[in-house]
Structure 1
Amino acid sequence: MQVGSSLPVPTYGEHYMKNISFIEIRSPDSNIFRRFPIPRVGAVLLSTILKNQGHNVRVYIEDIARPDWKFVEKSDIVCISTITSTVHYAYAIADRLRKLGVIVVIGGAHTTFMPDEAMGHADFVVRGEGDIALPALVEYIETGLPPVESIGGLTYRNLAGDIVHNPQGEFVKDLDTLPLPDFKLVHRWKNSNILPVATSRGCAFNCRFCLVSPMFGRKYRFRSVESVMGELKIRVKLSNSPIFFVDDNFAANRKRTKLILQGMNEIGLKPRWSAMVRPDIAKDPELLKIIADTGKPTVCIGFESINPESLKEYEKKQTLEDNITSIKKIKAHDIKIHGMFVFGADTDTVDTIKRTTDFATSMGLDSVQYMILTPLPGTKIYDEFKAQDRLLHTDWAKYDIHHVVYKPAMIAAHDLHFETLRAMRDFYSLDYILRRMSRLDLFYGAFGVYSRTMINKAIKSSDACVDGLCNLKSAI
């Protein structure tokens, strides 16, 4: 492994890139919510940049539709986007395409932090943001310029076969300079698909299990309100899809968030929409009122735990009291809440898991997502568990928030796996479904039926855990 290279690199140039394919690998079979796919914006944005440079580009999001393999296999370059739990499948596709002579570029969170591994299956790895690096790489393959050594965040091999990691490139400072993602490039895109809208990047926090800060930095970068509204105006003409603001914290700048939501009201855009926020939005009554006035909003909040010690361990910078207060104030404005919790901290017990459903139900959360702590490469907790020899294995397919892949401190791996599934089933109880239906809350009633069905299938299809390894079959 080298950082930079004084040795020559393979010669490129005069490779006319007629067709370029992007593939976003399908969600793991163990993902209980895979029937509600939210495409990552990155592949669509990067494809739009290359389209604007004159390339014939298609995007295949496998959670939406199967790729047109005839086009893919005849492409000059295939760019594959993957996360840790899907990387095994990404590598298999990459291996097959390279045997056909296709140039393969891999990117995404996993390969950003495991580039040497990825280079066993790809010609190039783009680490971190690809908005600058990927167009430069395509130009280099076509013309031989710019010099490959100058492309920030690129990993490749020199003529000696050594893996070279160029220094990381700079983040895009002005997000308004990027084009609006063209979803018409997505193969078989439908108006019913959830429409992702990114209005910022980065996160000022640095939770021990989260990849956002390592990938996009500790400083928020915001698109202007005018840019976001311009995109929303186009979207409302093309689609009635529910909108999901994919920012890690949509309300990081509350003044800006208010202007965006007020702008939605002004143009008559009142869809079903959701966004990830922190509990601190409850400290701003004006913001809560504006949220309540816009369509059918759902705020997705990482409460993470009802155990105060676990919140400290996760470095969440929020307390249980903060969570309780925020839920009460948000529910007082009749805003839906999707609560997210992570089980498996060193201070968690089986009782923590069981009490979480009592908490979520009594507080009136509208939906929940229970996740098993997963040490993903690039996170603090991965480095710590690896140093402590607590990782059970590196079968990346199991690094999917539904399996136990490390040695828990106070819970048996078997119990952590099954109690998490059972707790989520207990939340989506028959009583939950009946109460929602009786109030004519048909969306959440139907969502409860779906969730309970999928969780029951997951429980039934789970093998007994052996040596702490839980194998969840692909029956979901």
Structure 2
Amino acid sequence: MRVKMILPALTEAISPYFRPIKYSLFPPLGLATLAGYLDEDDQVTIQDEHVEKLDLYDNPDLVVIQVYITSAYRAYELADHYRAKGIYVALGGLHVTSLPDEAAQHADSIFLGPGEDIWPAFLSDYRQGRAAKVYTSKVRTLVGIPKIRRDLIKRNLYLVPNSIVVSRGCPHVCDFCYKEAFFKGGKSFYTQQVDDALAEINRLPGRHLYFLDDHLFGNPRFAEALFDGMKGMGRLWQAAGTVQAALRPGLLEKAVESGLRSLFVGFETLSTSNLQEQHKYQNLNRDYCAAIQRLHDQGVMVNGSFVFGMDDDDETVFDRTVEWAIKQGIETATFHILTPYPTTALYERMAQQGRLLHSNWDLYDTRHVVYRPAKLAPDALEAGYWRAYRNFYRWGSIFQGAWTKARWNDRLRHMAYATGWKKFEPAWDMIIKAKRASSMLPVLETILSSFGRRVSH
């Protein structure tokens, strides 16, 4: 059987504001995971439109497309193209699970929820010529899943080819998060067995890893066992975690000992009212400053995530947030405009209040305002969002943030990481066009390897 798997380009990845490096970071790990379920004699290819031009003149037996909200229209276009040629098309992913009736118009089969149980069931039915229209996930387990088909990943096209996921979902329930819709009908957070996770890590070449888990620290017992198993491997790794996880005694230390050097932290807002409104209770009554200091004392860089446009936000939120992040010495920051994704609690609430402006999924990219804010005009919210990025990554801001560090080494690493991420766009463009993104991995490892040294007090 000839199988083609496609990750269509997100709308923001082909816009005038396209940053090639951002969309050349990670390979399509989800598709490579599904490919592991195919038979040895199946011919399978994976194409990622972010880093390569799609071949649309082929004639596979089966086309599988992963759909996100801002790639939905492109995914449907590709699906319609192949179906017009008489080729069987299956669609899955977050957007398909959220809006199955919409997706079903463009597919022969759709998958709702995680694929560990429904994808093998579909393959069995498809080979027997009796595939169903809809497959809905009910069984949630990562026990016994096959090895990821990393041989199908074009490693040279990605800065971080060693991406890995050892859990699914998140134990927290925030109103704006897509997760609850995707995992509806079963467990919304579960992990691999520790030994299986360590075996997958051992398969990866080089030193650097990036855990793409929504919350790697979500099960502290699993996380501690994983970090204990990784100790001595000589790895350098990055991941996402919460303020709560950073403050948990002992857990961060184990992570650092196993190679943690950079953590994406969802601060989201400095407003207690906003946290309560969005049911982000895990951040309530947490000392953000203490969490950042604790991470920095352990030599861990911080990528802070912030969301603008919650109901307590006014015109002052942008400058206040940026000023606070700079004073805390956060190395990099990611800003978002609040976006009500379909079927989330936030979406349902805004729909009931008549605040949604449209359903043009191309603009649901966290950079456009698609609802009526409570205390801001839509254009003011968008302007503030862009101003926050400009102000945080100004040279003066980078130097100011770096100078919150006590040691020269830490100051230099701060500047290297922040400027490398935002200031060298022409260089990144040239490297990516030459299909040499992975050649910059040693530079990233050099920066990361200089962190993780505890400050003496």
Shorter-chain TM-score bucket reads: 0.7 to 0.9
Q: Which residue of 2 aligns with 1:397?
A: 362
One-letter amino acid of the counterpart of residue 137, structure 2: G
Q: Which residue of 2 aligns with 1:382?
A: 347
Q: Is the 8 A contact 1:302 1:341 kept in 2?
A: yes
The SS at the match of 1:177 is coil
1:171 aligned to which of 126, 133, 139: 139
Q: Distance in 2 between matches of 1:51 and 1:210?
A: 35
Q: Within 5 A, what are the aligned runs for 1:232-243?
A: 232-236=201-205, 239-240=206-207, 242-243=208-209
**2:284 is equivalent to residue 319 of structure 1:** yes
**2:153 is equivalent to residue 181 of structure 1:** no
Cα deviations by residue, 1:350-400 (Å, 9 ceiling, x for unpaired)? 211220001101111111100001111121111122222211111110001
Q: Is the 8 A contact 2:155 2:161 kept in 1?
A: no
One-letter amino acid of the counterpart of residue 143, structure 1: Q
Q: Within 5 A, what are the aligned runs for 1:344-383?
A: 344-383=309-348
Q: Is the 8 A contact 1:61 1:187 kept in 2?
A: no
1:331 aligned to which of 291, 296, 299: 296
Q: Which residue of 2 aligns with 1:221?
A: 190
The SS at the match of 1:358 is helix
Q: Is the 8 A contact 1:205 1:218 kept in 2?
A: no
One-letter amino acid of the counterpart of residue 58, structure 1: T
Q: Distance in 1 between matches of 2:427 and 2:275?
A: 31
Q: Is the 8 A contact 1:336 1:366 kept in 2?
A: yes
Cα deviations by residue, 1:266-295 (Å, 9 ceiling, x for unpaired)? 223x22x21111111233342222333344
Query: What is the CA-CA distance between 1:261 and the residue it aligns to?
Result: 2.4
One-letter amino acid of the counterpart of residue 51, structure 2: I
Query: What is the CA-CA distance between 1:444 and the residue it aligns to?
Result: 3.0
Cα deviations by residue, 1:309-352 (Å, 9 ceiling, x for unpaired)? 11111111122643232112222222111110111111111211
Q: Within 5 A, what are the aligned runs for 1:38-117?
A: 38-52=26-40, 54-70=41-57, 73-117=58-102
Query: What is the CA-CA distance between 1:90 and the residue it aligns to?
Result: 0.7
Q: Which residue of 1 aligns with 2:172?
A: 205
Cα deviations by residue, 1:56-80 (Å, 9 ceiling, x for unpaired)? 111112223233334xx31111000
Q: Which residue of 2 aligns with 1:11?
A: none
Q: Which residue of 1 aligns with 2:238?
A: 274
Q: Distance in 1 between matches of 2:425 and 2:278?
A: 27
**2:406 is equivalent to residue 440 of structure 1:** no
Aligned residues: 411
One-letter amino acid of the counterpart of residue 170, structure 1: K
One-letter amino acid of the counterpart of residue 364, structure 1: G
One-letter amino acid of the counterpart of residue 420, structure 2: A
Q: Which residue of 2 aligns with 1:462?
A: none
Alpha carbons of structure 1 residues 347 and 41: separation in structure 2 relative to 1, 3 Å: same
Alpha carbons of structure 1 residues 192 and 37: separation in structure 2 relative to 1, 3 Å: closer
The SS at the match of 1:341 is strand
One-letter amino acid of the counterpart of residue 52, structure 2: A
Q: Is the 8 A contact 2:391 2:397 kept in 1?
A: no
**For structure 1, which segment, 60-69 or 40-49, has the greater mean C-alpha deviation from structure 2 after superposition?**
60-69
Query: What is the CA-CA distance between 1:210 and the residue it aligns to?
Result: 0.3
Query: What is the CA-CA distance between 1:181 and the residue it aligns to?
Result: 1.1
Q: Is the 8 A contact 2:243 2:288 kept in 1?
A: yes
Alpha carbons of structure 1 residues 263 and 47: separation in structure 2 relative to 1, 3 Å: same
Q: Is the 8 A contact 2:178 2:344 kept in 1?
A: yes
Q: Is the 8 A contact 1:203 1:218 kept in 2?
A: no
Q: Is the 8 A contact 1:305 1:343 kept in 2?
A: yes
Alpha carbons of structure 1 residues 313 and 275: separation in structure 2 relative to 1, 3 Å: same
One-letter amino acid of the counterpart of residue 60, structure 2: S
Q: Within 5 A, what are the aligned runs for 1:247-258?
A: 247-258=213-224
Unaligned runs of 5+ in 1: 1-17, 149-153, 156-165, 455-476
Alpha carbons of structure 1 residues 453 and 58: separation in structure 2 relative to 1, 3 Å: closer
Unaligned runs of 5+ in 2: 429-457
Q: Is the 8 A contact 1:434 1:445 kept in 2?
A: no
Q: Is the 8 A contact 2:174 2:279 kept in 1?
A: yes
The SS at the match of 1:75 is coil
**2:11 is equivalent to residue 24 of structure 1:** no
Q: Distance in 2 between matches of 1:56 and 1:144?
A: 19
Cα deviations by residue, 1:173-209 (Å, 9 ceiling, x for unpaired)? 2x13111211211356557434221111122211001
The SS at the match of 1:292 is helix
The SS at the match of 1:293 is helix
Q: Distance in 2 between matches of 1:113 and 1:440?
A: 44
Q: Which residue of 1 aligns with 2:112?
A: 127
Q: Is the 8 A contact 1:65 1:187 kept in 2?
A: no
Q: Distance in 1 between matches of 2:155 and 2:68?
A: 22
Aligned residues: CA RMSD: 2.5
Q: Which residue of 1 aligns with 2:261?
A: 297
Q: Distance in 1 between matches of 2:127 and 2:426?
A: 51
Q: Which residue of 2 aligns with 1:421?
A: 386
